[in-house]
Amino acid sequence: MAKVLHTGDTHIGFRQYGLEERREDFAQAFLQVVQLALDEKVSAVIHAGDLFEDRTPGAEDLLATLQGLFTLKDAGIYFLGIVGNHEQRRGTQWLDLFEELGLAVHLRPDQPFELEGIPIYGLDFSGRREITPPTCLEGVLVCHQLLDAVEPEGELALEQLARCGARIVLMGDYHEYREWRERQDSRETLITYCGSTERWALDETAQRGVNIIDLKSGRLDRRRLKTRDFLYIRADEDPMQRLETTDVRGAVVVVYLESSQWTIAEIEKLGYERGALAVRVRDLRESSVQKVEPSIEIEFGDVEHAVTEALSRKNLSPLAREIDQIIRDLKIADSNVDQEVTALLERAWRAKP
């Protein structure tokens, strides 16, 4: 059984609301996917693009990514991926670097990767224009684009994918789980978005998860991810009462406000007093002139000791440990950390036999 884990839109490095905690959440969601792949005993993790939030991930996020990729490699699980619009660079892609290090496979439209006899094609993000999918000889196609079924101006149509020749099409870019079974000339094509692994936008209210797919039978099962709590308070609710009666410690609170009975400042103040990580108010009042003024409180503890203790329990690769040493070397200015890590990775790439 060729069982794979389909994920995408991990957006590692996204410092949502300017919070370090949220950046860590996105990295931990990726590592949770890696652990799930081990637990499910899949043959491969197929990533449908937007591994990173942008084209210049920070050193901490590269470290978390490498930790996950080395874990998969040690377990004999392939990491197959394509490039999304967020991380896409001119020239060499991060996925190319990981491929040269033996940690990943950059899927191509004309040179399929064979997994247990099944060809797997990949199409990197190709812009916000109408595109033609590659012709596939059975197997699987991985894309990072919007479909007309989820966005009227989407670049691809379900009908196109049903005719491209692939039996299964694994999509990224749209952040919610969707599944279609399209029939064309008596054959069925499974087309699915796995959704993002963390809530990248406030309106992404559904539970986050990944797809577990048997490539031979086409069976798809969902697996949930444990992510930070988001509390949504509807416009017809009393936000103050809801905050008073709900445990919001560590949660992101999203309030939809239509009434002028409360001010945004009052709602935010109570939310933070109750222990919320972040309070976001969607002001739906027609004549509102109020602005959301986020307030962030950060407490610093013995971070160095905690990190050292945590890493001592991790079986990190030599490369990952070198990156960690760069990050925590006080002689290296913060502004130079990313440059030093990039140079290290380039040296490792060139030294690869």
Using DSSP bridges, classify how beta strands 168-172 and 178-184 pair: parallel, antiparallel or unpaired. Answer: unpaired
Our answer to whether residue 86 is catalytic in this structure is yes
DSSP string, 157-174: -HHHHHHSS-SEEEEESS
Q: How far apart are the C-alpha atoms of 302 and 297, rounded to whole Å?
A: 17
Catalytic option among 6, 11, 47, 86 = 86
Long-range CB pairs of 30-35, under 8 A, 24+ apart, other chains included: 30/64, 30/65, 30/68, 30/197, 31/64, 31/67, 31/68, 32/197, 32/225, 32/226, 33/5, 33/7, 33/68, 33/197, 33/210, 33/225, 34/68, 34/71, 34/72
Residue 85 phi, psi dihedral angles, 5° rounding: -70, -30
Paired tokens of 262: 């409360």
What torsion do the CA atoms of 150, 151, 154, 158 make, to the nearest 10 degrees? 30
Is the separation of the CB atoms in 102 and 130 below 8 Å?
no
Closest CA relative to residue 166, chosen from 194, 127, 129, 192: 192
Tallying the residues shown for the chain, one arrives at 353
User: Catalytic residue numbers?
Assistant: 86
